[in-house]
Amino acid sequence: MSDPSPHILVVDDHRDIRETLARYLIKNGFRATAVESAAHARKALKAAVIDLVVLDIMMPGEDGLSLCRHLVETGSIPVILLTAMADDMDRVIGLEIGADDYVTKPFNPRELLARVKAVLRRTNQEPRDRDPLESDQLHFEGWRLDVGKRELFNQLGEPVILSSGEFQLLCAFLKRPRMVLNRDQLMDLTSGRMPNVFDRSIDNQVSRLRKKIEVDPKDPRLIKTVWGGGYMFTADVSDSAA
């Protein structure tokens, strides 16, 4: 019988970091694979089902941001970035690309473990109570979200790829149409991140989601900004096509 525990891929060119972290994750109930480069990570991703990637940004050859972009564009595997203390811009770029969280080096393994668990909870990789969605098929403005399969389809029936963060954000909006949700509420509903996470990450997630579902992202109709309050999803949502 296969091991049902989540499989974490650790990608870091420093052997001590990746192997120590992999051992720590295994000790705490996960499966873990440790590799030293983006090239080896791509091979590992083809060879096994990976539930989450812990990814160093600064690596020789293809860097972590490039691999993160590839993961976001081609699927919904969540990504936690490892960043250097001074790399503020890399953290911003990583979140804009679609990374789910980041941890600054040097880090406490317990902090990283907490973030791994938080990201996996929101991507349904760890057992938890099911979100009270009335239907696995949610419709709005001609769009269809298959919640169970985590797939979004536009008005033409074409699939639109969402990162795990974008999927959770869209679910949060669709379950609460016409409600003003502030940034703290959206953080709680989508990620359960630590309080010191980069405080504009929700704004970046909203911006990316708007680019995928709005006719004009610069003049959004579906996700409205409520100045001083947060954001509101303005469309009607139903469990059947109009």
pLDDT (average), residues 65-71: 91
Q: What pLDDT score was predicted for residue 23? A: 95
- Identify the band that residue 3 occupies on the pLDDT scale cut at 50, 70 and 90: low
Architecture per CATH, domain 137-233, reads as Orthogonal Bundle (1.10)
Q: Which of 44, 23, 40, 45 is nearest to 32 (CA)?
A: 23
pLDDT (average), residues 131-159: 84
Contact of 64 with 11, CB cutoff 8 Å: yes
Phi-psi region of 55 (alpha: psi -120 to 50; beta: other; left: phi over 0): beta
- Identify the band that residue 125 occupies on the pLDDT scale cut at 50, 70 and 90: very low
In the three-class reduction of DSSP (H, G, I as helix; E, B as strand; rest coil), residue 70 is classed as helix
* CB proximity list for 91: less than 8 A, separation 6 or greater: 81, 83, 102, 104, 198
- One of 3.40.50.10880, 2.40.50.100, 3.40.50.1820, 3.40.50.2300 is the CATH number of 7-122, namely 3.40.50.2300
pTM for the structure as a whole: 0.59
Q: What pLDDT score was predicted for residue 104? A: 86
> Comparing 5-9, 33-37, 167-171, 190-194, which segment has the lowest mean pLDDT?
190-194
Q: What pLDDT score was predicted for residue 201? A: 73
pLDDT (average), residues 194-215: 76
